[in-house]
Structure 1
């Protein structure tokens, strides 16, 4: 992500600043010629100081490159951790791990601060070097004139000072130029390394391919295969916005959209990676018969599945076993130069110190705000928009804002100080200066009205690029399988062009302003010859206005960060006056009273007045068709969404009256989408380091993962890559079981936990739960009917309403029972599969 949001931005800045390198050099050469005509051989003293300045900068430029590279690497690590946490924020909240992951990111940020501090100190050094050089050049030249007996008359002194002022601002801009060039060089090198990385090899396939992944990949947009009923329930049918990654859809609906997408492809070969595990038995049978057996009857189909009931229908099965005297005046001038240098040095160091403090405070507040944001924020905000804040905007605040601010203050103070001195000595200058300042301010305001919007649009369009990139990376396999790379490349380029447009117009607007300021200054000076003598060039500096405008543009990034620092937060993590007892919940009794849930104030109700009681120690099964509201009920139990009406009471305590951390840390859950984090086996089971290795090995044994981990050379330190992609879906689910075993909660929730594992592993998981959680309240949401058949009670939900709640056998006896209907559909599906 850093390649797109930061490195590409630095390369985009480079062409503008590149021209400063040769224009500054040309201005210096022309100035030296003019100086030689004015002060003769004393010019060589000025040249010596200039050369010495460049030589003093050369070794530190190499160090700047080194630390800039380290800084970008540290940013990569921090952004990777941020992305992983933000993508899996729901899991972090369910496990009450937000504080731990926030601490991990803050530690990575501290590593980044080390490189950032080094980069800023060297940038401050450059600022001192090049801002003090004009004064030191003047002092050295006057000193050389004294010793060489070059007369210092008003005409040549004025020529010298005026010429020096012409190049003063270009010289002072050299630190910015050096910084941009180094940043662009580092960015180029990083992108070249990335582009030269080994790529995937080609596989020869005869015919077109359609692919359906095990984990549904859904893009931001609307729906346009067994979705007829769902489309009727959705408020806008197939044009209903489904949110980023399909957050507004259930797991089964996501899978069916995937299947429909593949069917529209009309390919020759279909690769189906266990797509039926996320739906109930009836829907799975319907999909298999209508999709695989009918729609794909004349197609080549590769189906990866743990549902062996479907296997008889296939042709082949593959089983896988993973005045004063002149001298005195020169001395005073030199003293002023030294004092100026000391001031610049202290200013630079103070800037670095204050910037580090403000940057640390800003990031900390931003991180807390993001981690405390409710799930509704993540459901409605594209991930790319959040990542652009913690990458490109934060990079601008870290690297660009501080020195742009002090250079702006310096240039503006210098301009108005000169104006004030001249107003005291030669008051006539006010007749020219006051109108000029007034016109410049009016012009600046006119520019600001557009420039700020350009930067805001640039930030917004950049988030679209980041969001599209994140979606494309998540669905890379699907995109390649459908041979849609060119379409996604074209879409990405289109988004980049839309992002480049405000970026380009921001620079052109800046040039528009500078041109008019320079023209205005030249016109005033040309029309007032007398004031031209009294008013030295540079008294009113266009560079001062330019710096102010650049700073205002950079402040947009601060504004964007500030927006995310004030996100409405969830309920408090801990309410000190109302903390539950350490042993809570001790019984595990759950009372649901007239519970009504909606995801947004204006949205329709998802749960419509559910009331029931789960007795402590009972095993509760929750069933219903896809999209009926089962997962929403679990979300309400963990307060991922707050009740619109009603309440949930656990062991006599209303869960809305206690802190979220106290609530979520006391419950155990095996979520629908098993999530592993980048790290080790030990870290994924016990990220808070609360358990011994012996306890972890015991849990691995109970989860049937002990042998798998022991076979790996590193044991508990075995690598788990991002998203756990080096472990199978079933193994990831068993990791989640291990987390629940380590936590030992009195209330355990299984949210369709067995959907992605084979029947044998399902039996192991169920046996482990019955043994290890015999006295606990176990709430199971499941599509597989056998999973809930041995439950104490079964709760059936339809369209967000409680249809029935009773013992499984009692429900089976009812003629109009929804549960009985689901059981019949399941066994009918199983028997028809066996007969095939």
Structure 2
């Protein structure tokens, strides 16, 4: 009851800054897992309404906190009764001897009991709020793990983030305000009863004023709900765009699009501020209305007493004056109650809609786990569609994969190769036919998915450490050398989405993860596109054909040089899957030749078709606090503090001996507040940090949902979110417990001041003070408790909320990169004027090729030397000036939520005709035309388009910009050879007068370059014409070329 169990933590926080390890863990009954289990039990029992399920989970806590709320109202209502009797005693009308002392003791006891009741009420409802927030966080996370592909397009990652971070917070705030909805009515009824006993029929004036106040607020409540809906929609759009921009900031910098996206975010923020200001103005109007209501009630009642001839004496005057103060606190909180109800209702509806979204159907794929099965993968008459349209993305698929065989899947860009793997995983809805999979699956996605954590964590992926197997895995995936280069080896922390790793390193870590899990079936989606020829050959021979020799492997690839080693090849040719699987081993070697001839013919046919066509014309919580909470908390803190000290001043002026009690108590209160704030601020800081971890884990889980499901890691990831939610709930729980600890002690101190004032008056001989003055002293004293409480609460809340301001300020104070434009050194319009060279950059994966390009764009600044372009030192010009003159097709093709047109030309500089012309040159004209044209939808980083199509769209961007310098960073790694050849021809034609720098793992891509730069371990080892390097003995370039041709010769191509 006294929160003594908080003493050790608050003491520790005063002695030193608190750390997360210092905060006690939650009790088992408070943990998210416990509450989630209870929720699911109620849901499975047949309760469908989210609200009623939550109510049934917490009915006991609601009743207990309701009891304390009722006790608080009753003890508060005793104040006017004590006041009435005290005035009688001060007038010499004692009912019995020493009645005054009894009243003083009763007043002290009443105020202490009131404090205990209110603190328990608040503490228990806050606890319920945190548990509800944790519960809903778990439910939302579990739901996102099961979302169907259609639902994923409807609920973006930014929106899901808002559901889990913002909406759960608003729902979690509602229990704190719930009992206010009925205690306000009860207190109002008691106050009117006291008024009637004091002034009789004049009470009607009070009733009329209260009714008028409520009526004036009624239409506002509906408008406030509309404003809240609009605010949430605007906030969703802003957060969605902001999250996407921050996640892809590197791309925005490379394309010099930062200012454009900044402008878009500012426009969305202005729209958000429009609805925010409307909502806050409504809240301010309600606050003024309700704060003024007690004074209006008093004025109206006095006027009614005058006209009705109701006699006024000190007893009924001060009893009547104290009555409106009974409801002053709840009436002042009515705007908050209304706002909380509206926000919770909107948040509940949004969460409810999300929880009702469609899920992946468990029966899509028949899963069995027999130790051995002759055909672990069987698809019969399978039709699959990503959307709900009648047109299937995969039609009439029939094939069976024999255990232990290696199957290559080849075909055009966007033909459905990755979709076939998704069908086997059960990710794409099956509209007809049958899919049967037997065995444990390991999956390597085309776009490498890396978690924040160490390299070791990403490889183990939840498995226990087996050092011999782990070291063998590193060797087979060619990671040993990379780990030697990294500062802490395999314990090196990987940045968000693998930001500090090369594309090849990320892909090989994914391969290592799959291998370490020792699965039965391996689904590999173009795993060699990001690695050099030597590494690709090493991984293929030792990994695919060696370590996985007895495993069933389906590998999507564009590397034809490996096809000879596969048992079968499944190929997409002119819009349909060729259902026959050519057996490359077994009866004779002729069938192997047939397979290669079939694939080569397909490539030649594609080449002819493409060549003919080419000639034809995705901070939030802190900002939410600053927007919604800080302004009102600041204003309430100032007004409540002024009122509290004015009341205290009146009290001490009339009964000056109270100063001997009040002065030390006030000093103690100030010191106690500082003692508390030392811990409270750190608890809030830790709360913010742990909340960021929840957001990060959710973002990673959404982006890697397919991988998580493929490895059957949903439960482990769910357990992790439960742990993170509990880690966040613990500092939040202890923070508000510390607030209750402080408030209870301050309330008892204020009760001591009030009782001291009453005691001083009791000691005075009768008649020394008039009954009117005595009544005024106690009347002000009764208000002092509430005002001091309100003042301290708001001051402490403000101190905690300012942490959000500090966090935003710290973010804004991060050192910025160089200026966009340097007025005294702007580049001329035709810069660079000299061009035409074609430079190739080759090297092993992780050798520093992409880092070199980053230096050209000044994403990293040179620590020594100069980078000169057209005679200009690039470090002396503005960043926007530089980057806007250089075109880039990046290694990781990034698309943004919106339309195809927006992704090609977000700034709107080009006409539709120009864009369609470019799409024709990129081999995307037909694919986009058969959808919704330039308005075809792009969602979540382009996840609804294949990797090859995304790279082609990035090619379209540079074709529109026509830069004099073009950099291709593995631009065609995810494109088949035929399309690659046509794209290279397009680049040679369209950029013949431009300098083109090409980073490539396919050595023939750089053979027609003017010069080739060979990079190894971050150093330039060779730089010359490719023909000269080929003739130089011991040349690094020659070794790479010979490795490539050896693989081609093995393939018989």
Band the TM-score falls in, shorter-chain normalisation:
0.7 to 0.9
What does residue 636 of structure 1 align with?
Answer: 855
Distance in 1, matches of 2:515 and 2:207, equals: 74
Conserved? CA contact 1:282–1:829, under 8 Å? no
Which residue, out of 634, 659, 680, partners 2:899?
680
Tell me which moved more, 12-21 or 59-68. 12-21
> What SS does the corresponding residue of 2:358 show, helix, strand or coil?
coil
Conserved? CA contact 2:841–2:1000, under 8 Å? yes
Q: CA deviation at 1:24?
A: 3.2
What does residue 36 of structure 1 align with?
Answer: 196
What does residue 551 of structure 2 align with?
Answer: 299
Distance in 2, matches of 1:214 and 1:531, equals: 82
> In the TM superposition, what are the counterparts of 1:322-333 in structure 2 within 5 Å?
none
What does residue 790 of structure 1 align with?
Answer: 1008
2:917 matches 1:698: yes
> What SS does the corresponding residue of 2:493 show, helix, strand or coil?
coil
Q: CA deviation at 1:429?
A: 5.2
Distance in 1, matches of 2:303 and 2:873, equals: 83
Q: CA deviation at 1:234?
A: 1.7
2:878 matches 1:659: yes
Q: Structure 2 regions of 5+ residues with no counterpart?
A: 1-160, 368-437, 457-476, 576-617, 762-773
Which residue, out of 713, 726, 732, partners 1:503?
732
Q: CA deviation at 1:709?
A: 2.6
What does residue 208 of structure 1 align with?
Answer: 440
Distance in 1, matches of 2:933 and 2:1044, equals: 41
Distance in 1, matches of 2:1004 and 2:196, equals: 96
Which residue, out of 984, 988, 994, partners 1:766?
984
Conserved? CA contact 2:486–2:492, under 8 Å? yes
Deviations 1:531-568 (A, max 9, x none): 57425122462211111111222211111111111110
Deviations 1:733-774 (A, max 9, x none): 111111111111111111111111110111011101111111
Q: CA deviation at 1:407?
A: 1.4
Over aligned residues, Cα RMSD in angstroms?
A: 1.9
Q: CA deviation at 1:640?
A: 0.4
2:767 matches 1:538: no
Conserved? CA contact 2:655–2:760, under 8 Å? no
2:307 matches 1:147: yes
Bigger CA radius of gyration: 2
What does residue 103 of structure 1 align with?
Answer: 263
> In the TM superposition, what are the counterparts of 1:744-823 in structure 2 within 5 Å?
744-823=962-1041
Q: CA deviation at 1:191?
A: 0.8
What does residue 887 of structure 2 align with?
Answer: 668
Distance in 2, matches of 1:726 and 1:457, equals: 38
Distance in 2, matches of 1:650 and 1:283, equals: 33
> In the TM superposition, what are the counterparts of 1:380-779 in structure 2 within 5 Å?
389=619, 391-421=620-650, 427-428=656-657, 430-530=659-759, 533=774, 534=777, 536=780, 537-539=782-784, 541-588=788-835, 617-712=836-931, 714-779=932-997
Distance in 1, matches of 2:327 and 2:992, equals: 82
2:248 matches 1:88: yes
Conserved? CA contact 1:273–1:305, under 8 Å? yes
Deviations 1:269-320 (A, max 9, x none): 2111111111011111111122211222222222122222333333333223
Q: CA deviation at 1:635?
A: 0.3
Structure 2 vs 1, CA of residues 527 and 426 (structure 1 numbering), >3 Å: closer, same or farther? Answer: closer
> In the TM superposition, what are the counterparts of 1:15-30 in structure 2 within 5 Å?
15-30=175-190
Which residue, out of 26, 47, 60, partners 2:207?
47
Distance in 2, matches of 1:45 and 1:446, equals: 47
Q: Relative CO higher for 1 or 2, CA cutoff 8 Å, sep ≥ 6?
A: 2
Deviations 1:755-802 (A, max 9, x none): 111101110111011111112111111111011111111111111111
Q: CA deviation at 1:432?
A: 4.4
Distance in 2, matches of 1:731 and 1:542, equals: 62
Which residue, out of 286, 292, 296, partners 2:538?
286
Distance in 1, matches of 2:570 and 2:512, equals: 26
Conserved? CA contact 2:658–2:757, under 8 Å? no
> What SS does the corresponding residue of 1:568 show, helix, strand or coil?
coil
> What SS does the corresponding residue of 1:171 show, helix, strand or coil?
helix
Conserved? CA contact 1:42–1:144, under 8 Å? yes
Q: CA deviation at 1:235?
A: 2.1
Distance in 2, matches of 1:434 and 1:41, equals: 43
Distance in 2, matches of 1:15 and 1:439, equals: 32
Q: CA deviation at 1:222?
A: 1.0
Distance in 2, matches of 1:45 and 1:726, equals: 66
Distance in 2, matches of 1:500 and 1:190, equals: 22
Conserved? CA contact 1:432–1:531, under 8 Å? no
Distance in 2, matches of 1:483 and 1:670, equals: 35
Distance in 1, matches of 2:178 and 2:797, equals: 17
Structure 2 vs 1, CA of residues 529 and 425 (structure 1 numbering), >3 Å: closer, same or farther? Answer: closer
Q: CA deviation at 1:633?
A: 0.5
Deviations 1:166-219 (A, max 9, x none): 432222122122212221221111111111111122222322211100000000
Distance in 2, matches of 1:181 and 1:509, equals: 26
Structure 2 vs 1, CA of residues 438 and 161 (structure 1 numbering), >3 Å: closer, same or farther? Answer: farther
Which residue, out of 265, 269, 274, partners 2:521?
269
Tell me which moved more, 193-202 or 299-308. 299-308
Deviations 1:690-744 (A, max 9, x none): 12222222222222222323333x4222222231222221121111111111111
Conserved? CA contact 1:208–1:267, under 8 Å? yes
Conserved? CA contact 1:210–1:262, under 8 Å? yes
Q: CA deviation at 1:575?
A: 0.3
What does residue 562 of structure 2 align with?
Answer: 310
Distance in 1, matches of 2:921 and 2:867, equals: 32
Which residue, out of 493, 500, 511, partners 1:259?
511
Q: CA deviation at 1:55?
A: 2.9
Conserved? CA contact 2:446–2:526, under 8 Å? yes
Q: Structure 1 regions of 5+ residues with no counterpart?
A: 323-386, 589-616
Conserved? CA contact 2:655–2:757, under 8 Å? no
Distance in 2, matches of 1:483 and 1:49, equals: 64
Deviations 1:428-479 (A, max 9, x none): 5544443343232222212211111111111111000000101111100000
Which residue, out of 114, 120, 126, partners 2:274?
114
Q: CA deviation at 1:3?
A: 1.0
Conserved? CA contact 1:458–1:499, under 8 Å? yes
> In the TM superposition, what are the counterparts of 1:50-65 in structure 2 within 5 Å?
50-65=210-225
Q: CA deviation at 1:115?
A: 1.6
Distance in 2, matches of 1:307 and 1:34, equals: 89
Structure 2 vs 1, CA of residues 451 and 20 (structure 1 numbering), >3 Å: closer, same or farther? Answer: farther
What does residue 56 of structure 2 align with?
Answer: none
Q: CA deviation at 1:424?
A: 5.7
What does residue 79 of structure 2 align with?
Answer: none
Distance in 1, matches of 2:447 and 2:539, equals: 17
> What SS does the corresponding residue of 1:647 show, helix, strand or coil?
coil
TM-score, normalised via structure 2 length? 0.68
Q: CA deviation at 1:48?
A: 3.2
